[in-house]
Structure 1
Amino acid sequence: MTYRTSLTALALAGLVALPSPAAAADAGPDASTAATPGPSSGVSSVHWTSCPDYSDEALLSLRVTEEQIPAFRALMKRLECGTVSVPLNHRDPGGRTIDIAVTRLAATDGARRLGALAVLPGGPGNSGYLDPILRAALRNQEMAKLNERYDVIGFDPRGVGYSTKVACPITPVGPQEPGTLTEEAARKIYAAQIAANQRCGRSNPAFLGQLTTENVAEDLDLVRTALGERTLNLLGFSWGTRLGMVYRSRFPEHTGRAFLDSVAPPWTRLDQHMKDSAEAAERDFGRMAAWLARRDETYGLGATARQVREGVAKLVRAYDTNPKIYTDLRRPVDGSAVADLARRNSTEWTRAGRALAELRTATGTTAPPTVKELLGAPMTGTPVPGVPEALNMTMNLAVACNEDGSRAAFDTAWRDYQRLVKRHPATGRAWGPGFMCAGWPLPVQQATLKRGGGSLVLAGHLHEFMSVYDWTLQTRRAVGGTVYTVADDVHVSTTRVPECAADVVRYFETGRIGRGCAGSAIPS
């Protein structure tokens, strides 16, 4: 589980709490009106409806290329769309209900059909509605084969997208002043985060308190029942790996083959999550530093990995001491921005290296070109009309905080942050104090994981920091399974790399898996 979304990354830095009132008004039906009295008994069924229609502009914003648009539209003609009614509170099955949006892309080779495979989205809070197309049929030629023998199932978890959801109608916590974060400034951010979290949590506790991974797993099993499937096979990404673990623990008899990519830890403490991730990010920067050193003639950052490390750490300190405000860049460039460049994964080393080199000699009032390219995009933007919601920030916050077993007090979070920055001089400033769940007023709810004997593959990426490789090993000890090692640092890259994707498809067809794959290639 990575909590990798824009909300979480900013909240961990103490910059953001929740969507603005404008975003809240746009985020979908309020649960108080969308939830309705539920049936006292009966078997779930899918209420099939027509699928949405998307403009070319909307598809481009979903990263569908112009060349892929005709294929996407052809797949949409095959896609089935509907909703399944589930209890808001699974402990009160006769109470209010909410709708879970579901999609199905039926197997093209019905005579050799192996069953249904549910794609489990990341986040928490990411949409999975179009995943049968975007993560399977349209991803690459290898992944497209998955749909030959499997019905591929997508869904929006409760609180997301076309499913019933809410939004906290409060103003985000404002950004800190650029430069070194002082204790005084941190205390103000902490107090603002507490106030924001309490307003959010108390705005609709009946709904927000039911946003947990375990409840999403319960919803998914009702989706399985509604589809008439005896078992579900699972393909999970990021937080979806946590969902897969919980589903498999809760419903082992209904779980078929499961492949979980970029594996979450078997625990839900955000303080430990950030500590482990920060250590992995600094460690991976060592690989980047060695790569840059071998190309010193191009980047001029040092002829050895040690020189690059020391130079970047010096650059972090320099920009914290003297932050720069560029007229064409919304984000101030301080130590946190430099550290953000230093923790980029290998697919971005070329551009990150150029940006770091530019910052060593930058002058003038406008940002250097690569710095602007990497740091210039606004953190939030005006959505394209008709685009399905990619991330629900309220769901992201609620699931993370409902399950966070730490919720550290200020003194503890501040001490941990200072240690983190000191221990990780190149990348540590990209993080912030662990204030995300401070003051969250709802009780901690944690699912129980159980070992199982069914087929399970845990894909861990050897060098990534968003889902640390050691978490894969910890998870295997907790729930069992086979470790599949991807020798890269790229989050959930397995199905994007054709050689690795071929292993994923082969696993779902045969139940057999190798030891791993190379993953995303390091730039030459």
Structure 2
Amino acid sequence: MRRVLAAALLVTAAGCSTAPAEPATQSTADPDKIAWGPCTDIKRPDGEPPAKQDSSVRCGKLAVPLDYAKPDGDKIDLALIKLPATGKSKPLGSVVFNFGGPGASGVDTLDQAAKALTTLRAHYDLVSFDPRGVERSAGVRCGNGAEMDKFTSLDTLPADDETDRQIAAANKQFAALCQQNSGKILPHIGTVNAARDMDRIRAAVGDAKLNYVGMSYGTQLGGVYATEFPKNVGRMVLDAPLDPTVTFEQRTLAQTRGFQKAYESFLRSCVKGGCDVGRDQAIANANVEKLMTQLSQKPLQVGNRQLTQGLGATGVAAALYSELTWPFLEQALGEALRGNGDALMYLADSYTGRNEDGSYSTQMTSFPAITCVDTAERPSEAELKRTEAAALKISPLFGSEGSGGLCRVWPAKGSDQARHVNATGSAPIVVVGGKGDPATPYEWAPKLTAQLKTATLVTYQGEGHGAYLSGSKCIQGLVDGFLIEGKLPEKNASCPAA
């Protein structure tokens, strides 16, 4: 009950954009057709436009029903991006991507990931989209930049009862702002409707079957799609899988363990070669704990802002998603220990989607909007306290109540439909789980595989959130072999760390 967006600290994973949200009932696109044109508003993680935009990349809009129970009623525009196939032969069709979140902009992230997908692009058009409620697709907004600064900077260290009451009030204020700014779309956001949207995308690009790569939350979206449209599944890969059946408490504790494990792996790696945070693991950890306590008592000044303990913890979590960012985390922590919080603030901002001008992407607001609609669970105050106490025992740095506190006061009703997946009747699906994944613990991979009924599990032994874009040639070879040639990985296939 300490932080309004604590859950987003644990699972959001994607790029950001400054594109404005569109009203939920104004559609300029033709139903069933994608209006393709040049891309004009793609942003990179640092807020700067690409140095040179690939002129072949196209962006477009597809009109879909706001409410699928009223297909002829109000429409919203889904924003899409297409990287046309580069091979000389006729493309095999399209592969649709969802990069996670929930709340990731597929338009921005596919553009950023293009170089890593060169092999696949030689055979397919690559397509992604901003799901409903995200960025350009009627993105959910919950306050202005100053209000978002207030929410994202709240501390996450254990607090007294008075602070808990203040955070509970902040939760209510945040939910009220979401209702005020985006109330019309809130009841219609969610994974089931996103899956229906994705089938419209499949039809609009002219594919009889959906070829799909879903990462993190995108695995739940893929699982729901395969449940709703099993006969329309083509070649589907689900990387860094979620177990949709877990409760708020189970998810919070599993992810807290995952981030704590990744943090300890970072410290072990750091001290091997002389660590800027401390000479051995115990000292390094003590220094980080001391830093967080100091930030709670006296935040570091960073320009006209303050690096609070909450932002500091967010910055640490952000860098744990990939082993490639561990050196920058060492630098950021070392500098913060010496009184300079710039680098740690940069990590936090990259995670929360804060732009240099103080505006925010929707990744921190789309997350609760989708998460809370995707479950009917509304935990009690006692359940939240129990979850928080158990999480703090696992990790004082990452322990929290999860997203239950915000969903408890969410203005839109939730449904459990997206928590039950069964792809019986679909084509084979490949699930890829990582042993060192902090955000989607490996234990969820075999569980999702079993629930789908038609899936094969591949295990990645390395660190980081997600395996396909980790740099592992083994994983990329297995996934590309399946997507391009239809070659299903062998049972119990495993790949070493990259």
TM-score of the two chains, using structure 2 as the length reference: 0.81
**Unaligned 5+ runs, structure 2:** 10-17
- 1:399 equivalent to 2:374? Answer no
Q: Once the two structures are superposed, what CA deviation does each residue of 1:391-439 show, in whole Å capped at 9, x if it has no partner?
A: 45443221111123433233332332233223324x3358878523231
What's the offset of the Cα at 1:310? Answer: 6.2
Per mean C-alpha deviation after superposition, the further-off stretch among 483-492 and 462-471 is 483-492
* 1:504 match: 479
Q: Once the two structures are superposed, what CA deviation does each residue of 1:467-489 show, in whole Å capped at 9, x if it has no partner?
A: 11111121112113122222222
* 1:12 match: 6
Change (3 A) 1:479 1:206: same
Indicate which of 432, 439, 444 corresponds to 1:459: 432
Q: In structure 1, how many angstroms separate the alpha carbons of the residues matched to 2:429 and 2:456?
A: 6
Change (3 A) 1:53 1:178: closer
Instruction: Tell me if the contact between 2:4 and 2:167 (Cα under 8 Å) persists in the aligned partners.
Output: no
Aligned length in residues: 474
Q: In structure 1, how many angstroms separate the alpha carbons of the residues matched to 2:292 and 2:403?
A: 18
Instruction: Tell me if the contact between 2:214 and 2:237 (Cα under 8 Å) persists in the aligned partners.
Output: yes
Secondary structure at the aligned position of 1:197 is classed as: helix
Which residue identity lines up with residue 46 of structure 1 in the other structure?
Answer: K
* 1:93 match: 71
Change (3 A) 1:130 1:350: closer
Indicate which of 8, 12, 20 corresponds to 1:27: 20
- 1:301 equivalent to 2:278? Answer yes
Q: Once the two structures are superposed, what CA deviation does each residue of 1:168-212 show, in whole Å capped at 9, x if it has no partner?
A: 457446554696522210111112312431453366544210101
Q: In structure 2, how many angstroms separate the alpha carbons of the residues matched to 1:294 and 1:216?
A: 45
Change (3 A) 1:268 1:99: farther
What's the offset of the Cα at 1:247? Answer: 0.7
* 2:136 match: 162
Indicate which of 115, 124, 134 corresponds to 1:139: 115
What's the offset of the Cα at 1:217? Answer: 0.6
**Unaligned 5+ runs, structure 1:** 1-7, 16-24
After TM superposition, the structure 1 = structure 2 runs for residues 84-123 of structure 1, keeping only pairs within 5 Å, are: 84-109=62-87, 111-123=89-101
* 1:52 match: 39
After TM superposition, the structure 1 = structure 2 runs for residues 67-82 of structure 1, keeping only pairs within 5 Å, are: 69=52, 72-76=53-57, 79=58, 81-82=59-60
Secondary structure at the aligned position of 1:12 is classed as: coil
After TM superposition, the structure 1 = structure 2 runs for residues 99-498 of structure 1, keeping only pairs within 5 Å, are: 99-109=77-87, 111-130=89-108, 133-135=111-113, 138-140=114-116, 143-168=117-142, 171-172=147-148, 174=151, 175-176=153-154, 180-201=158-179, 205-267=183-245, 269-295=247-273, 297-299=274-276, 301-303=278-280, 305=281, 307-308=282-283, 311-312=286-287, 315=290, 319=294, 323-328=297-302, 330-332=305-307, 334=309, 337=312, 341=316, 344-345=319-320, 346-356=323-333, 362=338, 366-367=339-340, 381-382=354-355, 391-425=362-396, 427-428=397-398, 434-446=404-416, 447=418, 448-452=420-424, 453-480=426-453, 481-497=455-471
Per mean C-alpha deviation after superposition, the further-off stretch among 144-153 and 123-132 is 123-132
Instruction: Tell me if the contact between 1:178 and 1:332 (Cα under 8 Å) persists in the aligned partners.
Output: no
Instruction: Tell me if the contact between 1:266 and 1:474 (Cα under 8 Å) persists in the aligned partners.
Output: no
Instruction: Tell me if the contact between 1:339 and 1:429 (Cα under 8 Å) persists in the aligned partners.
Output: no
* 1:3 match: none
Secondary structure at the aligned position of 2:54 is classed as: helix
What's the offset of the Cα at 1:238? Answer: 1.8
Instruction: Tell me if the contact between 2:349 and 2:355 (Cα under 8 Å) persists in the aligned partners.
Output: no
Q: In structure 2, how many angstroms separate the alpha carbons of the residues matched to 1:298 and 1:235?
A: 37
Q: In structure 1, how many angstroms separate the alpha carbons of the residues matched to 2:480 and 2:301?
A: 49
Instruction: Tell me if the contact between 1:336 and 1:429 (Cα under 8 Å) persists in the aligned partners.
Output: no
Secondary structure at the aligned position of 2:106 is classed as: coil
Q: In structure 2, how many angstroms separate the alpha carbons of the residues matched to 1:144 and 1:475?
A: 29
Root-mean-square deviation (Å): 3.9
Instruction: Tell me if the contact between 1:316 and 1:339 (Cα under 8 Å) persists in the aligned partners.
Output: no
Per mean C-alpha deviation after superposition, the further-off stretch among 213-222 and 164-173 is 164-173
Change (3 A) 1:9 1:218: farther
Instruction: Tell me if the contact between 1:195 and 1:439 (Cα under 8 Å) persists in the aligned partners.
Output: no
Q: In structure 1, how many angstroms separate the alpha carbons of the residues matched to 2:108 and 2:332?
A: 35
Q: In structure 1, how many angstroms separate the alpha carbons of the residues matched to 2:479 and 2:261?
A: 28
Which residue identity lines up with residue 428 of structure 2 in the other structure?
Answer: S
What's the offset of the Cα at 1:273? Answer: 2.0
Q: Once the two structures are superposed, what CA deviation does each residue of 1:40-81 show, in whole Å capped at 9, x if it has no partner?
A: xxxx531424223359xx568467764xx2xx42433xx3x4
Change (3 A) 1:113 1:129: same
Which residue identity lines up with residue 459 of structure 2 in the other structure?
Answer: T
Change (3 A) 1:84 1:343: closer
Q: Percent identity?
A: 22
Q: In structure 2, how many angstroms separate the alpha carbons of the residues matched to 1:494 and 1:14?
A: 22
Change (3 A) 1:309 1:412: farther
Q: Once the two structures are superposed, what CA deviation does each residue of 1:350-394 show, in whole Å capped at 9, x if it has no partner?
A: 34345555666x4xxx42786576568795644689x9x964544
TM-score of the two chains, using structure 1 as the length reference: 0.77
Per mean C-alpha deviation after superposition, the further-off stretch among 396-405 and 106-115 is 106-115
Q: Once the two structures are superposed, what CA deviation does each residue of 1:10-43 show, in whole Å capped at 9, x if it has no partner?
A: 611799xxxxxxxxx98333224x169x99xxxx
Instruction: Tell me if the contact between 2:208 and 2:232 (Cα under 8 Å) persists in the aligned partners.
Output: yes
Which of structures 1 and 2 has the bigger CA Rg? 1
What's the offset of the Cα at 1:454? Answer: 1.8
What's the offset of the Cα at 1:241? Answer: 1.4
* 1:20 match: none
